[in-house]
């Protein structure tokens, strides 16, 4: 083998390896949603499921009907890897943000005892102070 042929073979091999690496890089980047999109979906899914669970539980109380719940999550928790994004995401340990406040609108006949019972139930379930829970009769 002549010296020129060895150089040409190594050059061809180098370009083949580079093309394979580039192809693999392109293939792995397709079909992936960005990290922040998944985190926002998780955040909204968590909020929605928490609201649905609370509506279901409060709706089972005697004398309570037509329950609507809104949950406010603490969106100040931002993973350190996304510190500049300002997106509400799970913290570094993977835990979802805690509930910051809850609003409940339902029919309970303007009974003060029933209102206190709903407030106490939500506070117990979520570990909130009663000042973080608003309950109103329709």
Quick one: three-class SS letters along 28-75?
Answer: HHCCCCCHHHHHHHHHHHHHHHHHHHHHHHHHCCCCCEEEEEEEEECC
pLDDT of residue 131: 95
Pairwise CA distance, residues 75 & 94, whole Å: 14
1-47 residue pLDDT tens: 555 565 566 667 666 676 666 666 666 655 555 556 666 677 888 89
Pairwise CA distance, residues 118 & 49, whole Å: 19
Is residue 104 within 8 A of residue 67, CB to CB? The reply is: yes
More confident residue, 60 or 39: 60
Q: Which residue, 19, 43, 20, is CA-closest to 91? A: 43
Pairwise CA distance, residues 124 & 58, whole Å: 12
Q: Say what the pTM is.
A: 0.63
Phi first, then psi: what are they for 65, rounded to 5°? -145, 170
69-127 residue pLDDT tens: 999 998 776 444 444 455 555 555 566 788 999 999 999 999 999 999 999 999 999 99
Residues forming beta bridges with residue 73, ordered by sequence position: 99
pLDDT of residue 3: 56
Is residue 38 within 8 A of residue 85, CB to CB? The reply is: no
């Amino acid at each position: 083998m002549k010296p020129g042929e060895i150089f040409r073979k190594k050059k061809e091999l180098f370009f083949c390896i580079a093309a394979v690496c580039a192809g693999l890089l392109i293939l792995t980047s397709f079909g992936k949603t960005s990290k922040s999109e998944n985190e926002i979906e998780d955040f909204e899914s968590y909020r929605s499921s928490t609201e649905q669970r609370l509506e279901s539980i409060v709706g089972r109380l005697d004398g309570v009907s037509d329950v609507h719940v809104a949950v406010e999550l603490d969106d100040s928790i931002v993973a350190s890897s996304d510190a500049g994004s300002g997106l509400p995401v799970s913290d570094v340990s993977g835990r979802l943000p805690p509930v910051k406040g809850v609003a409940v609108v339902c029919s309970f006949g303007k009974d003060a005892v029933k209102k206190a019972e709903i407030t106490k139930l939500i506070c117990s379930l979520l570990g909130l102070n009663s000042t973080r829970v608003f309950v109103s009769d329709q």
